Structure formats: C-alpha cells, structure tokens
Homo-oligomer: A and B are copies of this chain.
Amino acid sequence: MSQTAVPDAVRQAVEGIAMRARSAGRELAQWGTDVKDAALHAMATALVEAGDGIVGENRADLADGERDGLSAGLLDRLRLDSGRIAQIADALREVAGLPDPVGEVLCGRTLPNGLRLRQIRVPMGVVGMIYEARPGVTVDAAGLAVKSGNAVILRGGSAARRTNGAIVAVLGEALEREGLPRDAVQTVDDYGRDGARALMTARGMVDLLIPRGGAGLIQTVVREATVPCIETGVGNCHVYVDSAANLDEALRVVVNSKAQRPSVCNAAETLLVNQQVAQAFLPVAARALAAEGVKLHADPRALALIPGDVDVVPATEADWSTEYLSLDLAVGVVEDVEDAIEHIQTYSSGHTEAICTRDLATATRFVEAMDSAAVIVNASTRFTDGGQFGLGAEIGISTQKLHARGPMGLTELTTTKWVVWGDGQIRT
C-alpha cells in the first residue's frame, strides 16, 4: 500500500462507520449472554436461508477472480457452496455455546480504607479485522465479536467484496430482527485500499485491529497502523530432534508437523537434527517426507546424509527464515540442543517450536529457552490451535507478546475495567 494520504471523503466515510460501530458496541455491551447467543443462532439461520443469494454473489466474485488471474489456491479459499455455508453457520452456533467472558471478575479485594475494588472483564468496544479473501473469516469474526460484546469493522480481500457484502447484509438484518444494533457488523470494503488505510489510522475510534492473512498483509498492517494492533500468524515453526529422541516417535512428529496440512501457520518449516542421531534419523526421515511429497532444502551436513533418490536442494540463508506454507522443509544438522536453541532464536517468528527428546533436562532447557507462543515437547507443532487447546473458536494466533500470545479466542477480544465502590473516601 502506498504512503499517499487517504482521500478526505474516504476517511470521513470510514470514521462515520467507526462512530456508528462505537455506538453499536456500547449498546451490545449492555446485553446479556442470552440475548447475544440468540442473535448468534439467528445469524446462523439467516446465513443458511440466504445461502442461494450469497452463493450467487460468490459466483460473481469467482468469475471476476478467474478473469483477473487469481491463483487456484486463492479461488479455492474464496469459493462458497451450500455445504460450506452450513459449516460456517454451525461455527456460529458453536460460538453461542462458548462461555461469555464479559462480566468475569478477575480479582477484587476490600482495601484497608474500605474501598471495594474489582477488576472486571469488559468488551474492547470496536474491533477491526483486515484479512484476505476468505468469506468464512467474515462470519467467524462477526460471531466472535458479537459474543464478546464488541462491534466489528471488517475489511476482507477485494476479491471477496460481493460475497462479503451479501454476508454482512444478512448478518446485520438478523441482528436487527433480534433487537441488536445492525451496525455491530460493518465493512469498509466499498472503500478499497484507502478504506483499509483509513481503518488502520482511525485513532481513538478502533480499540483493536487484527490483521489475518499472509506475511505481506500482516507486516503492512503492523507497520502502518496507528491504532492498537496485534501481529498474528506468521509461523516459521521448528522441530528439533535431539540425540535422546525416540526416533520412531520423532519420525511421526516430524512428518505430521510438516505434511498433515502444510498451508497453515502451525506447520513446521525447519527440521533440526542433532549430529549424534543424524545418520540414523535423516535418511529414514527424508524418505518418509519424500513419500508425502515434501521437498527438502538441506544444509551441507544434512545433504550428505540424504539418499540420492530424495527431492532435495542445498539450503540458502533465506530458507532458514522462510515460511513456505507448502510441501517444502529446511533441514539442518546441529551440534546439540544449545546449537538448536541458537538457530531457532535467530530465525524463529515466535509461533511454535517442538523438541523430540526423552531427556528431561534437555526438554526443560529447550522449553525455558524458547521465546515463542508455544513450545511443544514430543508432539506435533500442529497442536497450536485454539480448538486443539480446548479454547473454542479462534480469531487468529498472536505471535507478539502484548495482550495475547498464541491462539486468540473470545477472552482476547476483551479488556478489563477497575470498578471501585466507596462511601466518601478521599486521599490524605
């Protein structure tokens, strides 16, 4: 996105949307869990009922996308059909079943002067989401926002503009029928990239901005946003196979971490193998990975141990920091756990790192040294996920340290408020 100024008309329009969102959020914050849950069920029903219309708009987006030469992967993520809409609607019903974080008392005490102090969980207010052309995210974000008492302002990919417009209209009407403010779910998609930039810089009007998508999108938003923003999702995840690993178990963990779903942020991108077990492990692992279609990018020591019939190229410096999101894996041989730690500290994006070892001291050292959202001992990196962790639906995975780290669910869409009840106390 360019650094030229946002046109005044766009800024005013987006600020108008944000002010209506603020007002809707204030109203939503006052409704109880039962009202919000009823609205989520109504939103789900309305989506299914409006399915044909939404699919029609989606077909138009897909036709434009094909004309504009979108990749098959992007078109696939954009595509909706009645089965997919039913899944998306079910996800809303699941959010309705989650506990409501709003109103939770986090701590409290009566102070020596008699003041009664409480720290209470409250909605953020206005949440912004900037994401790519995945219509399911539109619904997920709206559902999580409503449940947590927030208004949401959406900016989906331009390739999904008509689909998202249809979805937001349906959700808004459902909210209105349930007596909730329609402006709780709005989009700035009509204003293109300028709209996104106005949203990123609407200081005082947006309480939390979450970018979700590829590394380019996230870096742009984090760099340009002047509203509070959370960095999500870039996952350059590592698996380290220690000298004390159970190699059969390590093989399953490595293959699963890389190949079970390579396109997502918790898939492994680099395998580090302790030199003591490299000769025993690497040839077997290379063949098993090759059987899954994985292409290896190997350092010289690993390269020497990989069988000639395996698809492998020499690793470049760039490979160590690349989030492939594909069936590619960087492979290196390290001296020991300290060497592995140093490598990971140098190249990691702070998402998930795993170690395979049966040695307790080594596992503990690795867990303490890793500065990532999740550290996993003897299991697949693929477990870093709100659903897998038992946290319910997630709106993204934070790779920063402020406010939220790791899978972000309903709780991460709230803030707190100190409430103090007194009877005339003053400071002396």
Chain A residues packing against B (C-beta within 8 Å): 26, 29-30, 109, 111, 115, 117, 122, 124-125, 203, 207-208, 222-223, 226, 228, 230, 246, 249, 252-253, 255-257, 260-261, 345, 363, 367-380, 382-384, 388-390, 400-403, 405-406, 415-428
Q: What residues of chain B lie closer than 8 Å to A403, measured between beta carbons?
A: 402-403
**Cβ A405 vs Cβ B415 within 8 A:** yes
**Cβ B425 vs Cβ A379 within 8 A:** yes
**Cβ B260 vs Cβ A375 within 8 A:** no
**Cβ B425 vs Cβ A383 within 8 A:** yes
Shortest CB-to-CB span from A361 to chain B, Å, is 14
10 residue pairs, one from A and one from B, having the closest CB atoms: A379-B422, A256-B426, A401-B415, A403-B403, A249-B424, A379-B425, A374-B418, A228-B402, A382-B427, A376-B420
Q: What residues of chain B lie closer than 8 Å to A427, measured between beta carbons?
A: 256, 260-261, 380, 382-383, 388
Q: What residues of chain B lie closer than 8 Å to A30, measured between beta carbons?
A: 368
Contact of A420 (CB < 8 Å), options: B379, B405, B426: B379
Contact of A422 (CB < 8 Å), options: B111, B373, B376, B416: B376
Contact of A418 (CB < 8 Å), options: B249, B369, B373, B382: B373
Bound: A421/B366 CA distance, A:
12
Q: Copy number in this complex?
A: 2
Contact of A252 (CB < 8 Å), options: B26, B418, B424: B424
Q: Give the nearest-CB partner of A374 in chain B.
A: B418
**Cβ A426 vs Cβ B26 within 8 A:** no
Q: What residues of chain B lie closer than 8 Å to A109, measured between beta carbons?
A: 390
Q: Give 23 CB contacts A-B under 8 Å.
A: A111-B389, A115-B379, A125-B401, A203-B223, A222-B226, A228-B402, A249-B423, A252-B426, A255-B426, A256-B427, A260-B427, A261-B427, A367-B419, A372-B417, A374-B417, A374-B418, A378-B423, A379-B423, A379-B425, A382-B427, A405-B418, A406-B416, A406-B418
**Cβ A260 vs Cβ B426 within 8 A:** yes
Q: Max chain B CB contacts within 10 Å: which of A125, A207, A345, A415?
A: A415
Inter-chain pairs besides A367-B419, A378-B422, 6 sampled, C-beta below 8 Å: A109-B390, A228-B401, A260-B428, A374-B419, A375-B419, A402-B403
